[in-house]
Structure 1
Amino acid sequence: MSMVGLNLLAKLNRIICFEKHVDPQIPFGGINVLFFGDYLQYRPVYDAPLHTDFSLPSKKRSGKLPNEKEIQQRVARSLILQINCVVKLTQQMRTEDPQYLQLLERLRRGQCNYDDYELLLTQVIGQPSVGSLNDSPWNKAPILVFRNEVQTQLNNKADTCKGKPIEDPALIRKLLELSDSKTEHLPGLLPLVPGMPVILTQNIAIELGLINGMNGIFRQLVYEEDSVSTEVLSETFPNNTKYIHRPLYALVEISRSNIECSLEQLQPNPVPIPLIEQTFRINIIDVIPKDKKLKSNQKAILSIKRSALPLVPAHSITTHKSQGQTLNKVVIDLKLPNENDDIAAIYVPLSRVKRLADLVILRHFDYKVLLIKPSKSQLAEIEN
């Protein structure tokens, strides 16, 4: 439920009613719909959460007539309010540590106490109970971060081992260094080392379990032999880095896939991950030579078509991407970005593991972050 917003729900309702050829006033065309999830997870990206309460005063809506988008959101909210059967699951299936489970339960309500704070401080790096991140098992644990840019920087540092082709060096460098969040999650430079953890960023085959967010281990890259270059494209990587310009597919070990195969001389469950193609638009005004002025009606917007592997390194992942996953070991940061008062920013990273001993915290953090409470609309939805 947390991944579905009101706009998406309204769109699904319209599509179902259209396909079923029924009155649009009949919710979901008269079919039964099952919702499940947790309202205290991250909110949907670029959408309003299902628990949005339009009866509460809002500065954005004050004195204004609702636009079409807001009307559709209200329609979707009315659908949620028509749910006539709610089943609350009370047994925690992930957390095995009773003391830590009680801490998480208090955290959900914004009611952690100072004992909880002191317990978490025992897991901050530098404490006797926590070794160095260079030592096992923490040297293989993913680091959860809040921003895509930080994720990319950490992943690049951890790895030590196209229409009309673009030839302008400045433009090439700009495109290669763009954050994944601006390129439809296809990175320009994808560092790969055999044995490194990776994450799928696109749905490849849902029926086979090859879905966005699935973890795996990179084993081998298959590529055109004449596409290897040692010309340095980024100072981020070592000087002996090989740059593969035309990969064909990657072999990734995915233990949780539904594929049964065992190729000779390869690790169990190797899955060939093919290239996918995405198009994105960028502003290139900063790389246009000063002696080349644009016409008054021209825009410095370029449409880029990129064909690449739908993978990113998993040395570091965003807290948003970690949502729904159970991680064996994890490194987290509880020092929140400025002006972030969303309970999910604390609850999601802390609840990815089964035991407190399975996580370490990068640095000291404020006690007040454990007191962040759910919003009024979240509380109303949970308690009703």
Structure 2
Amino acid sequence: MSSSKSTTYYAVAKGHNPGIYDNWATTNENVKGFSGCLYEGFKTIIEAQAYLDNYNTLNPPLPPPTILPLDTLTKEQLSVIDHLLKGDNIFLTGGGGVGKSYLLSVIYTEFPGLKKRLMAIKNPGSVAKLPRIQMCALTGCATLLLGHKAKTLHSWAGIGLGKGSVSELYIKIRRNRKAMSNWLCTDLLIIDEISMMTAELLDKLNEIGKKVRSNKKPFGGIQILFVGDFFQLPPVNKSNEPTMFAFESVAWKEAITSSIELTQIQRQKDEVFQGVLKEARTGTLTKESCEILRGCQGRDWKENKIRPTLLFPRRAEVEMINDSNLRALTGRRYSYKARLVYDGKIPDGFIESDENFQKALNIFDSDGAYSKELELMVDAQVMLIANVDPDSGLVNGSRGVIVGFCPSTELPIVEFVNGVKKSIGHHTWPIEDYEFISRTQIPLKLAYAVTIHKCQGSTLDAALVDIGTGNFEFGQAYVALSRARSLEALYVYDFDPTAFKAHPKVKKFYSELQTKQIGDDDLKLLIAARFEHAVESKEIDIKPVIAESSKPIQAINVIKEDAEASWTVPVSGDSLEKSAIVQVLGTFAKSANWLYDSVPVNWADCLLPCQDKLLELSNALTSKEFLPSKENIWRALELTPLESIKVVILGQDPYPTPGNAHGLAFSVLPDIRPIPASLKNIYKELVSDIGFTAPSHGNLEEWAKRGVMLLNTVLTVEAGAPQSHSKIGWEEVTDQIIRSIAAQNKNVIFVLWGKSAQVKKKLLGLYLDKNGHRVLESAHPSPLSASKGFFGTKPFSKVNGWLTEMGKEPINWQT
């Protein structure tokens, strides 16, 4: 056994010379006598570097606290945050409509800053780091609903299909740079749809976490938040084996310290339907609920252009319904076969007829949502099975109807339920363990009928459900019923109250569940964390390097267990050559995140989830010339603090004419002439609307200072090239700004001029009713569209009228 296997690597985050050292003597020299020193020892250099990366990224000075949307949460929801702050591993459960999705959004955006401030209050003078959160779910559809960079659990963990032993999966993860970083750098792991996970898989993940992180605590010390409802369909276990739920696993007993069930319904407009679902969930339908469901039988749905999706318990019924409906159509039938496409260099010796590849392909085809052979016709009812254009609402599960086919490409043209009409091209799905090859197919499926199992986790625009005697599985009828958005979207094909049945294990589990509520003292502490003045924190510029040691490192054995699979990385002195270690965790010498560092201090908390994206943008923009100047990129945020916002007006990207852009949508510097055409039209409508006196300049800074956020959705542009930066990642950042405004403020008016702004309305959905916001939509003031729905809409008097109703002072629009 080589001596390198016993080496400890010390990561010094705060010391005389921060860096990584391979011996205690040198480490001690760098921390001895340093006030507030911070260091930790690790078995591998990967873990040490991850620790430094984590500290460097997540340890800016404490910004002033913002007003968090905690006052929008119920006491049940606050209990979840309370227990997370205490470090508990939590199981969060509850039926539909109780606010689980909203709570997860609040946790993701607000918990990191809240945790850091709370630790600073409890331990003045200590260095508190911001926790990194990762949201995961068992299906792609569920990750889409979560948002916030959610990933499928299998992808995040790097386990592929999750087959094989813990040792086999561990080796697989070690060879996956992203997966290793995920395991090592995540502090809070949120897993949604936990009811779909088998006990076997949960136990594997628990052991993998311990091995990867060299930590015997549950999941290697990662804090866990499981979210789900076990009254839904049970997990799919191996054939001939009894159903084993996640809560029966060893990992669950080791990890979960608190369970909280949300019971208070938040969506009051669906109160009747939510009441029915609450009873259906536990298999205890009352006579009144049965009558409501019987009233949905026989409802006429055949006149609807987008017909409801039929949800049936068995695959044979579904295939028969889809085939018969397609045969009933007249006209040409278009066929599409799934193909293989090569995305990279084909390894030497690979052939498609290889037995192992064919076996993997057959499994991939059987598990995939696509059809190996897809047949479509005009008027066929279809559903998207991939995220084609999320900004237009075209996501996995979107319903539509075929209205034609492109003459040149024969690609189907679909009109979706939201009115969007789009040609649908091929989509690719990478094949597990064969990264150079993918399956490609049109991402549509016939949607006259879908199995209930396939639709779990989705929400349908309209559903015709079979909740009769054909339901053979526990929770199956409840899942079918709860896919509909509302009673208005529900059509019942068959109904039998006995179809609603809960698994005995689940009923026993919930009967013994001891949920916890937040105490008054802890509630006061939460309030203190919100309003306490920022604790002083000395900023430290950590630049992780491999420091020169008294004994130069000749080689690092990165993987110590299982010598056959280990590999050695050459290291020279205090620097790393381009080697395998760089491929594991990326280049050590990262460019400065100057964009995040320049965010106005009172907005820093809001943009914490975007640090990685801002680092990407910082690197991308470093080599570019762009408008506006660096110091004006965040001008809209500087002039309009979060708590002062009354109105948000969204623009697209900055003016591409040099000298015009200065960080405010539609605005230019005072001496710029001529005034841009869109702004001229805004002035023209102001004159017509409120008798505005049009100024000779185009500077709108006074609006910003009065509470009008003038935000472009893309914050930079190349000179002379409109929308040149629209695809580099800015919208992830500005979407977060919009969400933060909606979540943390009340009674804000969002002015959405033009389609590019109106697609952002979806970001407000969680908060519109809850926080009393309003939305004003019209055509864009551009000369191309102003006469088609902007002129004459009187937006400025409407805004002031709404502000008056809200008890706020109207905007003085004069500049």
- Pick the TM interval, shorter chain: 0.5 to 0.7
Q: Is the 8 A contact 1:253 1:271 kept in 2?
A: no
The equivalent residue for 2:293 is: 120
CA distance in 1, matches of 2:459, 2:447: 14
CA distance in 1, matches of 2:443, 2:507: 34
Q: Is the 8 A contact 1:278 1:306 kept in 2?
A: yes
CA distance in 1, matches of 2:297, 2:498: 16
Q: Does 1:214 align with 2:409?
A: no
What secondary structure does 1:327 align onto?
coil
Q: Does 1:142 align with 2:309?
A: yes
What secondary structure does 1:14 align onto?
helix
1:360 partner letter: Y
Q: CA 1:155–1:277 in 2, change beyond 3 Å: closer, same or farther? A: farther
Give 2:235's match in structure 1, choosing from 44, 66, 83: 44
CA distance in 2, matches of 1:33, 1:374: 25
Q: CA 1:41–1:181 in 2, change beyond 3 Å: closer, same or farther? A: farther
CA distance in 2, matches of 1:328, 1:209: 12
2:271 partner letter: P
What secondary structure does 1:87 align onto?
strand
Query: Given the two structures, how large is their TM-score scaled by the length of structure 2?
Result: 0.30
Listed as ranges, the matches of 1:331-350 within 5 Å are 331-337=464-470, 340-342=472-474, 344-350=475-481
2:228 partner letter: G
Listed as ranges, the matches of 1:168-247 within 5 Å are 182=366, 184-193=368-377, 196-201=380-385, 213-217=396-400
What secondary structure does 1:18 align onto?
helix
The equivalent residue for 1:366 is: 496
Give 1:356's match in structure 2, choosing from 467, 480, 487: 487
The equivalent residue for 1:380 is: 509
Q: CA 1:49–1:271 in 2, change beyond 3 Å: closer, same or farther? A: farther
Deviation at 1:41, TM superposition (A): 1.4
Deviation at 1:143, TM superposition (A): 0.5
CA distance in 1, matches of 2:380, 2:267: 25
The equivalent residue for 1:288 is: none
CA distance in 1, matches of 2:466, 2:493: 5
Q: Is the 8 A contact 1:253 1:268 kept in 2?
A: yes
Q: Is the 8 A contact 2:469 2:498 kept in 1?
A: no
CA distance in 2, matches of 1:8, 1:221: 44
Q: For residues 168-225 of structure 1, what are the alpha-carbon distances to aligned partners after superposition, in whole Å with 9 as ceiling and x for unaligned?
A: xxxxxxxxxx9x98464442331224575544546889999987x4325467767997
1:30 partner letter: G
Q: CA 1:122–1:214 in 2, change beyond 3 Å: closer, same or farther? A: closer
1:352 partner letter: R
CA distance in 2, matches of 1:99, 1:328: 18
Q: CA 1:32–1:359 in 2, change beyond 3 Å: closer, same or farther? A: same
2:303 partner letter: D
Deviation at 1:306, TM superposition (A): 6.9
Listed as ranges, the matches of 1:251-290 within 5 Å are 267=420, 272-276=425-429
Q: CA 1:11–1:201 in 2, change beyond 3 Å: closer, same or farther? A: farther
Q: Is the 8 A contact 1:221 1:250 kept in 2?
A: yes
CA distance in 1, matches of 2:226, 2:392: 23
Q: Is the 8 A contact 2:397 2:460 kept in 1?
A: no
- Percent identical across equivalent pairs? 24
CA distance in 1, matches of 2:449, 2:386: 18
The equivalent residue for 1:158 is: 325
Deviation at 1:36, TM superposition (A): 1.0
1:326 partner letter: T
CA distance in 2, matches of 1:157, 1:354: 27
Q: CA 1:351–1:270 in 2, change beyond 3 Å: closer, same or farther? A: same
Q: Give the superposed CA RMSD.
A: 4.3
CA distance in 2, matches of 1:223, 1:251: 11
The equivalent residue for 1:75 is: 250
CA distance in 2, matches of 1:120, 1:3: 27
Listed as ranges, the matches of 1:52-131 within 5 Å are 53=248, 74-79=249-254, 82-92=255-265, 96-125=269-298, 130-131=299-300
Q: Is the 8 A contact 1:151 1:316 kept in 2?
A: yes
Listed as ranges, the matches of 1:319-338 within 5 Å are 319-337=452-470
CA distance in 2, matches of 1:113, 1:267: 41
Deviation at 1:269, TM superposition (A): 6.9
CA distance in 2, matches of 1:97, 1:333: 21
CA distance in 1, matches of 2:274, 2:220: 41
1:42 partner letter: L
What secondary structure does 1:86 align onto?
strand
The equivalent residue for 2:104 is: none
Deviation at 1:156, TM superposition (A): 2.4
Q: Does 1:10 align with 2:10?
A: no
CA distance in 2, matches of 1:122, 1:273: 42
2:427 partner letter: P
Q: Is the 8 A contact 1:96 1:354 kept in 2?
A: no
2:375 partner letter: P
CA distance in 2, matches of 1:312, 1:379: 39
Q: For residues 228-256 of structure 1, what are the alpha-carbon distances to aligned partners after superposition, in whole Å with 9 as ceiling and x for unaligned?
A: xxxxxxxxxxxxxxxx8xxxx77777899
The equivalent residue for 2:804 is: none
Deviation at 1:333, TM superposition (A): 0.9
Contiguous gaps of at least 5 residues in structure 1? 54-73, 167-177, 226-243, 257-265, 280-304
Q: Is the 8 A contact 1:2 1:38 kept in 2?
A: yes
Deviation at 1:150, TM superposition (A): 2.1
Q: CA 1:39–1:134 in 2, change beyond 3 Å: closer, same or farther? A: same
What secondary structure does 1:8 align onto?
helix
Query: Given the two structures, how large is their TM-score scaled by the length of structure 1?
Result: 0.58
Q: Is the 8 A contact 1:39 1:51 kept in 2?
A: no
Question: Counting helix residues as a fraction of each chain, which structure ranks higher?
Answer: 2
Deviation at 1:77, TM superposition (A): 3.8
What secondary structure does 2:445 align onto?
strand
What secondary structure does 1:34 align onto?
strand
What secondary structure does 1:105 align onto?
helix
Q: For residues 248-301 of structure 1, what are the alpha-carbon distances to aligned partners after superposition, in whole Å with 9 as ceiling and x for unaligned?
A: x77777899xxxxxxxxx95676644244769xxxxxxxxxxxxxxxxxxxxxx
CA distance in 2, matches of 1:123, 1:88: 30
1:117 partner letter: C
CA distance in 1, matches of 2:422, 2:398: 13
Deviation at 1:39, TM superposition (A): 1.4
2:454 partner letter: K
Q: CA 1:116–1:12 in 2, change beyond 3 Å: closer, same or farther? A: same
CA distance in 2, matches of 1:252, 1:33: 41
CA distance in 2, matches of 1:309, 1:269: 13
Deviation at 1:28, TM superposition (A): 1.0
What secondary structure does 2:288 align onto?
helix
Bigger relative CO (Cα 8 Å, ≥ 6 apart): 1
